[in-house]
Structure 1
C-alpha cells in the first residue's frame, strides 16, 4: 500500500543546486542520512533532465539491486497465484530483468516493440494533467528511486518497482495499454478540474486497483495491487462491487490503508466495454452527469 496522502514525497531544489526530498514521518528512510542524500541525487538527475535528451542513467548500488532482486523474487509466486492471465502473458512477453534494476531506457527498449510505449524520468509527483497528457501519447512518467532497504516488501510511496513491475508489465498488454492510453487522451478533452479528478478516480479503481473474474476466480490486474506484496494477500478479502462508473468516480478512499472496496470486472471484454469506452468518450458533461447520479443515490 501507499501510506501517505501525497503519494509522492515532495521535492525541493535549493538555490545552491542541492535537491531535498521531504519524506513523511512514517517513512522507513526518514532518519537515514545516506538514504536521504541518495534520494536527492536521483531526484536531481530527473530535475536536470530535458525532454529529448537521453534518459538519466542511475548508477544503482549493489544494495539497490538487492532490493529489486528480493522484491522480484517474492512477487513472482504471488503473481502466479493472484494475477489475471492477461497480466501474466504481458509480464512474460516483457521479460523484465529480475537480478538488477533496469534503466528506464532499458524498459522502453523492451516495451516499445510490444505496445509502442516509452518511459521517461520524473523526480516524484507529476502534475495530474501533465501525467495523463503523457499517457495519451503512450509515455509513462516514472520515478527512478527504490524503497528503503530495511523494508524491501513495503513502500509508503510509488517507487521504480511500482512504476515498472506494476505498470510496465501491465502496459505490455496491448489491451491494457489501449485503456491506459484512452484515459490519457480523455484528459485532453476535459476542461474542468472536477472532470479530470473523476477520470483519475476511475483510473485508480481500474488500472491501479482493478480486479477481474477469470475462470470463476477473482484475479488482480491493477498495478497498485500487483506491485504490492501485502496488497495481494488482502484484496480477495475486501468488498467487491460490480463496475459502476458513477461509484468509481466519486467513492472516497483512503490511500493510507489497503483498499477496502474494489470494483470487479466480469471479464476483460467488460472492462473494455465499460471503462475503456468511458475513457474514449468522456467529456465534462458526462463526468458531471455521473457525479450527479452518484450524489442522487
Structure 2
C-alpha cells in the first residue's frame, strides 16, 4: 500500500497566480534554478490547458531531446531482451520518435487508432480517483517535463519518459488498454477510499510493475519497469510471488525505490483472469471480504 503524500513535487500556485513545482530537497534538480523554472513553466502550461483543445506544444530544448534520445536508445536494447511480446508489438505499432521528445498530440495520434486512448496534459500528480477514473473514458493524464539531465537514467518521479515510453507503448495494445479501462470503470463504480486504494494497489503491481512468464522466461510488462533503465536489469532478482489480489493490496511499497516484491503472471491469460477479473468485480465490500484494512 502506498500513500499519495509520499510522492514528490506537488504543484502549487501563489496568491499572484504563479505556478510552483515543489521539488524535494533530495531531487536532482532541487539546487538548479534553471531546471526549477523550466518545471514551473511546463506545469503552468498544463494548468492553463482547456479540455477539448489540443495541448499547447512544449518547445523542448536540445538538452531535453538528448535525454529522451539517450533513454530511448538504452531502453530499446533492454526491451528486446526483457519485455513481453505484447509490449514489443504495441511499441512497434505506436511508432514513437526516438530522437526527440514527442508532443502529447503525437502520442495520442499513435495510440488512438489502436485503442482509442488520448493523452491529456497534467502539471504533476493527479488525484487517484481522477487519474484512474479517466482511464474508463480512454484518457491518460500525462506529465510533460523531462527528468534532470544530471541523472538521465534516474528519476524520483514519473516524467514524460515514464508516461510515454512506459504507458504510451502499452496503450498500443488492445489487451493492455482493456485492463486499464477496466481499472477506470472499477474506480467509477466504487465509493469507499478503501476500495479505491485496493484498485490503485493492484494497478501498481500489474500495469506499473507487472512481470510475466513467457516461453519459460520471466519478462516485464509494467510501465514502471519498462521505462526504468536500472530497474529493468534488476527485476529478475527480486522476490517473485504468484498473482494474489489480497497480497497486492496489502504489500507496502515505495515509489521512489526499486520494488523488492513483484507478482508474476503465469501468462497473459492469467493476468486478464486475475487482475481483469478483480477490476470487473471489485465493489465497496471487496476490501472487507479480502481482509484488507486501511489506516485511518
Aligned to 1:219: 219
The two structures have a TM-score, normalised by structure 1, of 0.95
Aligned to 2:17: 17
Q: Distance in 1 between matches of 2:88 and 2:54?
A: 30
Q: Distance in 1 between matches of 2:262 and 2:14?
A: 41
Aligned to 2:49: 49
Aligned to 2:33: 33
> Which runs of 5 or more structure 2 residues have no equivalent in the other structure?
none
User: Could you tell me whether the CA contact under 8 Å between 1:64 and 1:146 is conserved in 2?
Assistant: yes
SS in 2 for 1:68: helix
Mapped pair 1:236 → 2:209: no
Aligned to 2:197: 197
Q: Distance in 2 between matches of 1:49 and 1:100?
A: 23
Aligned to 1:93: 93
Q: Distance in 2 between matches of 1:228 and 1:291?
A: 33
User: Could you tell me whether the CA contact under 8 Å between 1:13 and 1:19 is conserved in 2?
Assistant: yes
Aligned to 1:119: 119
Instruction: Give CA-to-partner distance per residue, 1:114-133, whole Å, 9 cap, x none.
Output: 01100000000111111111
Aligned to 1:74: 74
After the TM superposition, which residues 99-178 of structure 1 pair with which residues of structure 2 at under 5 Å, given as runs? 99-178=99-178
What's the RMSD between the two structures over aligned residues?
1.4
Structure 1 runs (4+) deviating above 6 angstroms are: none
The two structures have a TM-score, normalised by structure 2, of 0.96
Q: Distance in 2 between matches of 1:191 and 1:18?
A: 34
SS in 2 for 1:250: coil
Residue 209 of structure 1, CA deviation:
0.3
Residue 252 of structure 1, CA deviation:
1.2
SS in 2 for 1:241: strand
Instruction: Give CA-to-partner distance per residue, 1:22-79, whole Å, 9 cap, x none.
Output: 1111111100000000000000001111211221211111111111101100111011
> Which runs of 5 or more structure 1 residues have no equivalent in the other structure?
none
User: Could you tell me whether the CA contact under 8 Å between 2:157 and 2:256 is conserved in 1?
Assistant: no
After the TM superposition, which residues 1-12 of structure 1 pair with which residues of structure 2 at under 5 Å, given as runs? 6-12=6-12
Q: Distance in 1 between matches of 2:121 and 2:253?
A: 28
Aligned to 1:285: 285
Instruction: Give CA-to-partner distance per residue, 1:161-203, whole Å, 9 cap, x none.
Output: 0000000001111101000110011001111001100110000
Aligned to 2:264: 264
Q: 1:8 to 1:112 in 2, by over 3 A?
A: farther
